[in-house]
A = this chain, B = another copy of it.
Amino acid sequence: MERINVGLVGFGTVGSSFYSLIEKHKNRLKEQLGVEICIAKIGVRDPGKKREYIPEGVLVQGYEEILKDDTVPIVVELMGGVEKPLDLISRALKAGKHVITANKALLSQYGDKLFKLARENGAELKFEASVGGGIPVIKVIQESLKGNEIQSVTGILNGTTNYILTRMTDARLSFKQALEEAKEKGFAEEDPTLDIEGIDAAQKISLLASISFRKWVNYRDILCEGITKVTGKDIEFAGISGFVFKLIATAKMTEKKAIVTVFPALLNRNHPLASVREEYNGVLIQSDFLGTSLYLGRGAGGSATASSVASDLGDIIERIRMKALPDPVGMPPVEKLDLFPQDDLQYKYFLHFVTDNKPGIWAAVTGLLASNGINIESVHQKWEDPVKLSDLYVLVDKTRELFVRKAVKEIVDSPGIHKSSCFFRILEG
């Protein structure tokens, strides 16, 4: 074999970066892989759009031609969305084609079915680019940590929200200002919902949980909160107690059940993930033999993500070139992961009450915390203006999520305490 054809579907930021990578490193890859990579077909919505640097005949409409082409054994799906990629990847795998995808939304919903399909058809389904952008966290978990029991994976997995929180902290921007800036810099999409609501991070941590614990979890089943309720004041008051805000995704195995969560958390300033800034991502893995290990890199952007796609492509080509049999044991089984009940989760909490500035507020708050068995660790109050509202921050001892939800609801129902009150969790360790 001298040349291997690749069918690329999708030519946005990541797709075009991947194309550039293959062009730029053609010789390097040939030397290392022993074959020349040829992007034989690129499926796009409008092949008539001018892209002069692409040879004639390569651009095609949609992906039907790529599926039909028997000279293309590898399909790279970088189109985004869920329904179309599901159709493309299912049919590619059934045709025995190897597939590479960066699509966490797809895999965190249909991963179990797709991996089963891959197994049945002797095809590879690789997805390094779906989590952590360019950070090789999938390979680390699936290959490097094979001799370890993974106890927990804790990460900053969304570059958009990390950029926003960094700018809110460092430049004291409001959430809205930071989001606008992120859009201008290309770190946030026009519709940022999936990022700021924590859904993107939830999809990624669900995938990491699935491969770490070798049972599948659907991202819709996990505790997921975004960063839209984090205010500049919250960041300021958390800072007084030595904490920084980060959108933290966690997958942790307890005796039999797993804790898989995404929420804006308060981290001690010395926590290894506290120094992951701007659009960078970071993944902290705790495992029995290696212990603590940390992986940092650019979690978004075309070129970092293209680097991961190329890594998967290298692995598949090596396997093809070595005429290796398909790998029926390496993929996670289709069993469901059993999740720890959300009510029983336990954290320290950082409570924020927005209150009228009048007597009796403290008594109501402290009384209702006490009647729910919640112990206060420290308190900060700020009057912006004596006749207006005041902000009461209460840091409480470790307690069950159920009790905190109940106490906060009771407190918010009290006179003089406003609905915009909320609570955040503190990440320990």
Contacts and interface: CB of A to CB of B under 8 A. Distances in A.
Number of this chain's copies in the complex: 2
Contact of A330 (B32, B296, B327): B32
Interface in A265-307: 272, 275, 287-298, 303-304, 306-307
A62 to B, nearest CB: 26
Nearest to A327: B322
How extensive is the interface on chain A, given as a class?
35 or more
Contacts of A324: 319, 322-325
A214 B252 CA distance: 39
A229 to B, nearest CB: 30
Given A17-B289, A291-B297, A294-B294, 9 more contacts: A21-B289, A24-B288, A25-B147, A148-B310, A289-B304, A290-B303, A291-B303, A293-B295, A294-B297
A145 interface: yes
A318 interface: yes
Task: Please indicate which of the listed interface residues A146, A318, A324, A327 has the most CB atoms of chain B within 10 Å of its own CB.
Answer: A146
14 contacts: A31-B329, A134-B289, A136-B144, A143-B315, A146-B310, A289-B303, A289-B306, A290-B307, A292-B298, A293-B296, A293-B297, A293-B298, A296-B296, A322-B327
Contact of A311 (B21, B145, B298): B145
A96 interface: no
B314 A143 contact: yes
Given A294-B296, A297-B293, A319-B324, A307 B136 contact: no
A328 B147 contact: no
Contacts of A33: 146, 329
A52 to B, nearest CB: 23
Contacts of A306: 147, 289
A289 B306 CA distance: 7
Contacts of A287: 307
Contacts of A28: 149
Contacts of A145: 307, 311
A145 to B, nearest CB: 7
Contact of A143 (B139, B289, B303): B139
A146 B34 contact: no
Contacts of A402: none
Task: Please indicate which of the listed interface residues A144, A147, A307, A314 has the most CB atoms of chain B within 10 Å of its own CB.
Answer: A147
A247 interface: no
A304 B291 CA distance: 7
A58 interface: no
A304 B292 CA distance: 9
7 interchain residue pairs of minimum CB distance? A147-B310, A293-B297, A136-B144, A324-B324, A34-B329, A322-B324, A134-B290
A146 B314 contact: yes
Contacts of A139: 136, 139-140, 143-144
A128 interface: yes
A412 to B, nearest CB: 40
A209 interface: no
A393 B292 CA distance: 38
Contact of A304 (B21, B290, B303, B313): B290
A135 interface: yes
A374 interface: no
Contacts of A272: 275, 296
B295 A21 contact: no
Given A139-B139, A275-B275, A325 B323 contact: yes
A386 to B, nearest CB: 41
